[in-house]
Chain A
Amino acid sequence: MTTRNSLRSQLVYSAAIGIAMVIASIIYILFATLRLQQIVNDQFRTERALQELQLEVVAVRTPFLNYLSSRSSRALSDLLAEEQVLRGMLPDHTRIESDPALLARREIYSMLTSYLDLIQHAIDLKRARAIEEYTLLYEEMADMSDHIVERIDRISLSGLRGELARYEEIIETSRELLFWNLAVIILAFVASTLWISISINRVTDPMNRLAWMAGELSSGNFDIADIEIDTVHEVGAVISAFNTMKHDIRQYISELNRQQKMEQLLKRMELYTMQAQMNPHFLFNTLNTGVQLAITENAERTADFMEHLAGFFRFNLRERNFIVPLRREIEGLEAYLYILRIRFPKSLGFSLDVPEDLLDSFTVPALMLQPLVENSVIHAFKGIDRPGKISIRVRREGSILILSVRDNGIGIDEETARRLLGPHSRDVEHDSKVMGLENVIHRLHFFFPDEPDVVTIHSDPAWGTEILIKINTEVEPCIPF
């Protein structure tokens, strides 16, 4: 990029050219006006010069006569002075022109030169006391002087008449000249203003387009066309950088959208898959229980049982929301516990501790507690003769809602607990024995990706296992589309 195309140079050149044009026009107008004055002045210059000449011709007569009369040195001095003045008014050389007026002037100048020479001759004659000669000479010179004066009058009058006749023509032409001069200065101003305006626009136009483009980008429209414009170096660099930035941002956002969509799609598929995985297990087991109950007990209990069973299925199968009120989650759990109490009337005891005020105040991911209880029922009491106990408790600590499922079973070994909580647990060969627990853990990590301790497992063979779910109520769960 050349220096000539820089912003500073452009502004300086434009202003300089515009101002120079106006100044040049003003100088021309000044010159034209002065020339016009000179022309008008010259029009009568000849007549004025002839009048001055005539006055001087008359003026020289008196000292000439005084000298011839008195021969005084003072008279001679005056005469010589006047003679010098008159001689100084005569041109050194006059061309022979065909114009009659110029020829007449030439004759007058010649006669005056001769007249001045005759004065010198008369002085010489006076000094030589040649009285008769200088007297005759004076007489001839007097006639000559009169004739010169008379001819100057005639030429002057003739010239004046001619000039007056042409005066109107000159005034008319002068008027035309003034009109065109006015047009020149006005057009110079207009042209300069336009020139500077165009030069400024060359700088500001790209900036305006840049501002418009910035507005479009800020409103999320990255599909606008690039700015391509011939402008100064500095603005060109900004536009180029802006175009590049727009391209980069558009590409980056496009990539992000693509990744986000793929991720959400995967999550959704995963959730549906996990929710769908639970149903066959439970349905199978409860149906067996329902059959046994129908054999051994009367129809009233069976009906009660089936009612809870139906309620449970209804909650399980119809619930398509990922996040549900705590009350609904607990209601589903209670239906499930009812079924479990029927199923394990003596070997298992259940307790549910949920403060009433929390039920309608919080929401939780759906189907969290039931799989955990189911997991304890299935795995915690293997090989144990004592009565099992499963306690479900919900409490609040500050902004943290804590859901706890605790059993007094055999516990979970440390390796299994770490594997269940680890990031690659899904890649491991499925173990149906812990699948319900693993399902819950995964879902919680999906909903709260930024809360690594949302679920923890505390286990000891001496007292059993407690699974704690800590939901930060100030954090919105990440819900997939």
Chain B
Amino acid sequence: MRNGSRILLVVVFLVFAFALTRSVTTMISLTQAVATRTGAGEPRSHHVAVFLPEQDTLFFEELENGVVAVADDYDIAISFHPIGPDTPEFRLARYTGIDGAIIYPYLPEREMRRQLELLEENEIPVVLVEQDVADDWPWTFVGTNNFELGRRIGARLAERSEHGRIVVVYSDKAPAVAAEKELIELGMTTVMGDRLAAPITRRQTALNPLDAEALTYQLLRSTSPSPVTALVFTDTDDTLAALQAIINLNLVGEVQVIGFGVTDAIIDYLDRGVLDATIAVNPQRIGIESVRVLAELLETGNAPGYVDTGVEVIRGAPR
């Protein structure tokens, strides 16, 4: 009887200890969950603001991915902000306590320069990505050399014996490329030379990802002043929309198409020979390099003035 009571007491005490342990662990987990939500993590050395246009495109998405991928490596906290004529965030950037900024220049040149100078006055180092502004600007640039981009496109086009009309379709969705039309076309002209039967035609799409389809129909149905023999796109969405139109018009192989970007759909078109080639500018690498260069600026105060992230033309399957 007495032993039975003692055994019962031990059992009750063990259950009590278990319940107490569960209660304490639940309390701790609840406290930790709240602490995690309040962001009590390891502090970072620097706060860098990344200013990108408010555009939902693959290019900016991959650029952001590149920035985020290496931020921890440089002990940098990243905040993303919009930049453009309609948002004050970039204009107020110097008041936000940031240690540096990675900026995709998306303001009128004069306004852009004034704001960059204000940042410089506040000793906030800046790295510009993809879109070069002017040769005399002192700020570090990370991105594609668009003249080289034009040369590569021209070399691919030149592999064909003769061309009629070549159309380059720029887009608001890829403002960095669109801003340097002349440089790109200069590169193309440099390589193609006499093989250009007519001056390069420029076309522009807006932010709508389907714009290129209608434009392609329009271009390919028109024979004035001469039929289009090659189409060059500078945005992935435009490329995909245009290819659908070309397939519908049964002009696959008849029109040489050089697209933009490396997505699964683009690669599929390359494999099927619908797409002749695609331009790979690797925006993720731009993001990575921009963080690396800015970190170097923050640590040493010095950085190279220009970092070329390269460009590549990927060929499709032969037809």
Contacts and interface: CB of A to CB of B under 8 A. Distances in A.
Say whether A and B bind each other: yes
Interface of A: 28, 32, 35-36, 39, 42-43, 46, 95-104, 106-107, 109-111, 113-115, 143-144, 146-147, 162-163, 166, 169-170, 173-174, 176-177, 180-181, 183-184, 187-188, 190-191, 194-195, 197-198, 201-202, 205
Contacts of A43: 34, 37
Given A114-B95, A183-B19, A198-B9, A39 B26 contact: no
Interface in B73-119: 77-80, 88-89, 91-92, 95-98
A144 B43 contact: no
B97 A106 contact: yes
A412 B45 CA distance: 143
Given A32-B27, A103-B77, A201-B5, A169 B41 contact: no
Given A96-B43, A166-B37, A104 B79 contact: yes
Interface centre among B29, B80, B92 (most CB of A within 10 A): B92
A201 B5 CA distance: 10
A174 B95 contact: no
Contact of A180 (B6, B23, B43): B23
18 contacts: A36-B30, A42-B38, A96-B77, A97-B41, A98-B72, A99-B39, A100-B79, A106-B47, A107-B79, A162-B37, A169-B33, A174-B30, A180-B20, A184-B19, A187-B16, A191-B13, A194-B5, A198-B6
Contacts of B20: 28, 180, 184
A176 B37 CA distance: 20
Chain B, interface size category, equals 35 or more
B23 A177 contact: yes
A380 to B, nearest CB: 82
A407 B160 CA distance: 185
Contacts of B89: 147
Contacts of A174: 30
A144 B31 contact: no
B22 interface: yes
Nearest to A117: B95
Contacts of A201: 2, 5
A180 B49 CA distance: 46
Given A174-B30, A177-B30, A96 B37 contact: no
Contact of A111 (B16, B42, B95): B95
Contacts of B2: 198, 201-202, 205
Given A143-B88, A173-B30, A198-B6, A181 B23 contact: yes
B249 interface: no
Contacts of B26: 173, 176-177, 180
Contacts of A98: 41-42, 44, 71-72, 77-78
A107 B23 contact: no
Given A42-B34, A43-B37, A114-B95, 13 more contacts: A96-B46, A96-B77, A99-B41, A107-B49, A107-B79, A144-B88, A146-B88, A166-B33, A166-B37, A176-B26, A177-B23, A184-B19, A201-B5
Contacts of A115: 95
Nearest to B6: A198
Contacts of A177: 23, 26-27, 30
B33 to A, nearest CB: 7
Contacts of A143: 88, 91-92
Contact of B33 (A36, A170, A190): A170
A191 B37 contact: no
Given A36-B30, A39-B34, A107-B98, A187 B12 contact: yes
B79 A147 contact: no
Nearest to B8: A194
B15 interface: yes
Contacts of A28: 20, 23
Contacts of A35: 27, 31
Contacts of A205: 2
B95 A144 contact: yes
Contact of A46 (B29, B38, B47): B38
A143 B91 CA distance: 10
Nearest to A42: B34
Interface centre among A46, A96, A111, A202 (most CB of B within 10 A): A96
Contacts of B47: 96, 103, 106
Contacts of B23: 28, 32, 177, 180-181, 183-184
Contact of B16 (A39, A166, A184, A197): A184
Nearest to A112: B95
B13 to A, nearest CB: 5
Contact of B31 (A39, A97, A198, A202): A39
B10 to A, nearest CB: 10
A474 B215 CA distance: 150
A94 to B, nearest CB: 8
A476 B251 CA distance: 150
Given A42-B38, A96-B47, A104-B79, A144 B92 contact: yes
B115 to A, nearest CB: 13
A188 B16 contact: yes
A405 to B, nearest CB: 74
A205 B2 CA distance: 9
A97 B88 contact: no
Nearest to A94: B97
Contacts of B95: 110-111, 114-115, 144
B91 to A, nearest CB: 8
Contact of A191 (B12, B27, B31, B98): B12
Interface centre among B19, B29, B46 (most CB of A within 10 A): B19
Contact of B96 (A39, A96, A110): A110
Contact of B39 (A101, A169, A183): A101
